[in-house]
């Protein structure tokens, strides 16, 4: 006689599947048997790859630049924060290798996307590199994989751009695969703070994705901070660099004000910095530069325009900082 399943029994196979996929990956990460793939070997990807290779994970680095792959395979680093001697040692030990073959992503248990996110000439987000990377990941996505996006972008990218493409494979997030966002916080050339001692923020599409991403990063990074969603994690990076952009603009404007008043701005900043609370020194310069500060606030500003909201502080700071080089040239 066939006994019909009770309602609780009927859902048990799905629950077991979720637990087994997550549990298996958790075990792989904890025992360092998880295979890690880094997509994009630039100033973010290469340091991340070497960090996890040093932490006893087997790491492959994928890049579309064949010359870069060949150089890394020969033990040469193109990133100042990663010595060639370190790359050569890791490659020789078999802990890390570079490849231009996207099919190898299928072998990875954890895939981290670290591709550039520039702006178009019109000042809008250029997501083609993310789109291309996600297409490659989706082509070989399998049950039990954890995918993490590190590329700086506007809130909603992980959920609205990355997730739909991955679920087009027929796999379901939180059951078959796991997806999170963790903003890169690389400060090239910083002698004090690198990947291992800079806290890592992560937020997943679901609770299991968040937990697995946090567990992964804890294997090589001293402190991991989990937030409630990928949108919060995406916003963290934009807040950090918008904070810097706005305060640099204030310092640049103060420099021009002091010049008009015949006051030494450096003396003023130095004296103000003696206050032990309520003040953080920022310094004027010929504008604002670097990989992130000129771009990240614009990503947020663009996103808010789609919601009919004007980011006045961001736009004013951008205006001040963009004018600054012209001012310096005139003064020179």
Query: Active-site residues: which are they?
Result: 292
Count of residues for the chain?
332
Q: How many CA atoms lie within 13 A of 55 on its CB side?
A: 24
Report phi then psi at 315, rounded to 5. Answer: -70, -40
What are the start-end ranges of the E strands in 137-261? Answer: 146-149, 178-181, 200-204, 224-226
Q: How many other β-carbons are positioned within 10 Å of the β-carbon of residue 296?
A: 25
The residues with which 148 forms a beta bridge, in sequence order, are: 112, 180
Please check whether residue 203 is in contact with residue 227, taking contact to mean a CB–CB distance below 8 angstroms: yes
Q: Which runs of consecutive H residues, i.e. helices, occur in 103-229? A: 128-139, 157, 163-167, 207-218
Q: How many CA atoms lie within 13 A of 165 on its CB side?
A: 17
Please check whether residue 70 is in contact with residue 41, taking contact to mean a CB–CB distance below 8 angstroms: no
Give the separation between CA 308 and CA 126, rounded to whole angstroms.
Answer: 20
The residues with which 203 forms a beta bridge, in sequence order, are: 181
Give the separation between CA 79 and CA 64, rounded to whole angstroms.
Answer: 17
**R_g of the chain computed on alpha carbons:** 23
Tokens 């990503």: give the residue: 299
Question: Closest by alpha carbon to 106, among 141, 133, 130, 135?
Answer: 141
Q: How many CA atoms lie within 13 A of 245 on its CB side?
A: 30
Please check whether residue 119 is in contact with residue 125, taking contact to mean a CB–CB distance below 8 angstroms: yes
3-state secondary structure of 177: strand
């Amino acid at each position: 006689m066939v006994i019909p399943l009770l309602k609780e029994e009927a859902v048990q196979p799905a629950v077991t599947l979720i637990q087994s996929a997550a549990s298996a990956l958790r075990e792989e990460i904890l025992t360092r048997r998880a295979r890690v793939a880094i997509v994009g070997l630039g100033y973010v990807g290469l340091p991340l790859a070497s960090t996890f290779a040093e932490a006893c994970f087997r790491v492959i680095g994928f890049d579309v630049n064949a010359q870069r792959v060949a150089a890394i395979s020969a033990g040469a680093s193109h990133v100042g924060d990663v010595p060639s001697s370190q790359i050569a040692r890791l490659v020789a030990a078999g802990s890390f290798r570079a490849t231009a073959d996207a099919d190898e992503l299928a072998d990875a248990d954890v895939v981290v996307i670290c591709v550039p996110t520039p702006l178009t000439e019109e000042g809008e987000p250029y997501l083609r590199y993310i789109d291309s990377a996600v297409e490659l990941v989706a082509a070989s996505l399998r049950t039990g994989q954890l995918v993490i996006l590190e590329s700086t972008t506007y809130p909603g990218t992980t959920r609205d751009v990355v997730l739909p493409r991955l679920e087009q494979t027929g796999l379901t997030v939180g059951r078959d695969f796991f997806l999170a966002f963790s903003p890169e916080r690389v400060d090239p050339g910083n002698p004090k703070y690198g990947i291992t001692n800079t806290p890592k923020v992560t937020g997943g599409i679901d609770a299991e994705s968040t937990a697995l991403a946090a567990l992964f990063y804890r294997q090589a990074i001293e402190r991991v901070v989990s937030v409630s969603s990928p949108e919060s994690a995406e916003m963290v990076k934009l807040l950090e660099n918008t904070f810097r952009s706005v305060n640099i603009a204030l310092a640049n404007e103060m420099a021009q004000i002091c010049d008009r008043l015949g006051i030494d701005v450096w003396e003023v900043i130095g004296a103000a910095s003696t206050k032990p609370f309520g003040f953080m020194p920022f310094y004027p310069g010929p504008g604002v530069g670097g990989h992130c500060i000129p771009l990240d606030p614009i990503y947020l500003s663009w996103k808010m325009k789609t919601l009919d909201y004007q980011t006045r502080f961001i736009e004013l700071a951008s205006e001040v900082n963009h004018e600054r080089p012209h001012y310096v040239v005139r003064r020179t």
